Amino acid sequence: MRDPHVVSLSFRLNTSDTFEIRDPKPLRGSELHFDYVLENNTLNVKLRGHYPSKEDAIDLVQPFLDAWELSEALDQRRKSFWFELEDCKIIDRDPPPPGTPQTIQAAVIASGVKIHAIAITSFSVGEYPSPPERMKAVSPVVTSIWTRYLRFKAGGEPLQQLAYYWLSVLREQHDGIAGASRALCIERSVLERVGRDSNNEGDEMEARKRTPKGIRKPLAQVQRDWLESTLLVLIRRKAEFDSNPDQHFDKITMASFNYPEDATT
């Protein structure tokens, strides 16, 4: 081809064994550089600008797909669906004269995405999950913490270790607790509570460190539930911030979570 131009990309929507979408209606939408339709488990993306190669086109669309997958995964606390490239439609905007031998560029089907197997209860929905409005890409640091969260769900990492690590990342990237609170629009008491529950509580199997009085009792289940829920909210907020730091954020407060103050530990 002398002037290749990618017209559209098609992706297959794959779902995990525990997630079912029953007879969904088509889902249509538009982003800054493309329009899309998700129908019959196929996502067709029509590009608006000029992209000369499949790689260029995928580089444009992939962050949107990554954010879509992660947003639903955060809601479900597991990876429930993912997109896999099926086809790439390319035309030549400057074709050779008739009768000239031509080399046709064929679309290459991408390899599948690895899915972490976690034993959970099956569930189903009646419509396609919508892509997130505030999250348009997934930064490397968010990808890293999500991978570690999946490892926690599979029993490979203690919850408190994971939560404390994520809090440390937020402090490092935003100049301490106060900086993270301001940048991410999170009440400081939320971050401090995550720090206390992840750093100072727990038994011999989960505690990060030994206190002067010895190892404390395990977190109560209600506290564990709060810590995990809050961790997921913090991951989402960081992903949204990294996508666009200038957008407006509603403040996350302790009242958003109803922390179990009466829990015994």
Q: What is the pLDDT at residue 199?
A: 84
pLDDT tens figures, 37-79: 999 999 999 999 999 999 999 999 999 999 999 999 999 999 8
Question: What residue type is assigned to position 260 of the chain?
Answer: P
Containing domain of residue 73, as a range?
A: 4-125
Residues 115 and 145 in one domain: no
Question: Taking 90 as the threshold, does the pLDDT of residue 122 lie above it?
Answer: no
pLDDT bracket for residue 265 (50, 70, 90): very low
Residues 151 and 102 in one domain: no
Choose among 187, 188, 218: nearest CA to 205. Answer: 218
Residues 116 and 171 in one domain: no
Judge whether 131 lies within some domain: no
Residues 12 and 114 in one domain: yes
Neighbours of 129 (CB within 10 A): 20
Task: Answer whether 0.95 is exceeded by the pTM.
Answer: no
Judge whether 112 lies within some domain: yes
Q: How far is CA 58 from CA 9, 29, 70, 109, in A?
A: 8, 18, 18, 12
Judge whether 231 lies within some domain: yes
Low-confidence winner among 12-21, 94-103, 116-125, 195-204 (lowest mean pLDDT): 116-125
- Of 67, 92, 125, the residue at which a domain comes to its end is 125
Q: Is 30 helix (H, G, I), strand (E, B) or coil?
A: strand
Q: What is the pLDDT at residue 104?
A: 45
Strands (E), the chain: 4-15, 19-21, 27-30, 34-39, 42-47, 81-92, 123-125
Look at the chain and report how many structural domains it folds into.
2
Q: What is the pLDDT at residue 1?
A: 62
- Of 97, 125, 153, the residue at which a domain comes to its end is 125
Judge whether 43 lies within some domain: yes
Residues 120 and 199 in one domain: no
- Of 64, 95, 125, the residue at which a domain comes to its end is 125
CA 93 to chain centre: 37
Question: Taking 50 as the threshold, does the pLDDT of residue 142 lie above it?
Answer: yes
Percent of the chain with pLDDT over 70: 80
Please state, in angstroms and rounded to a whole number, the distance separating the CA atoms of residues 68 and 64.
6
Question: Taking 60 as the threshold, does the pLDDT of residue 111 lie above it?
Answer: no
Torsion of CA 50, 56, 59, 64, to 10 degrees: 30
Q: Which residues of 173-194 are buried (b: 16+ CB within 10 A; e: fewer)?
A: bbeebeebbebbbbeeebbebb
Q: What is the pLDDT at residue 211?
A: 59
What value does the mean pLDDT of the chain take? 85
Q: What is the pLDDT at residue 49?
A: 94
Judge whether 262 lies within some domain: no
Neighbours of 1 (CB within 10 A): 17
Residues 87 and 186 in one domain: no
Average pLDDT in the 130-143 region?
96
Q: Is 94 exposed, middle or buried (0-12, 13-18, 19+ CB in 10 A)?
A: exposed
Q: What is the pLDDT at residue 120?
A: 43
Q: Which residues contact 71 (CB under 8 A, 6 or more apart)?
A: 129, 131, 132, 135, 236
Please state, in angstroms and rounded to a whole number, the distance separating the CA atoms of residues 31 and 52.
20
Judge whether 133 lies within some domain: no
Q: What is the pLDDT at residue 110?
A: 41
Residues 167 and 87 in one domain: no
Residues 112 and 147 in one domain: no
More confidently predicted of 30 and 118: 30
CA 80 to chain centre: 11
Q: What is the pLDDT at residue 118?
A: 35
More confidently predicted of 197 and 108: 197
Residues 8 and 120 in one domain: yes
Structure tokens that stand for 52 in this block: 């000369």
pLDDT tens figures, 223-244: 899 999 999 999 999 999 999 9
Residues 89 and 188 in one domain: no
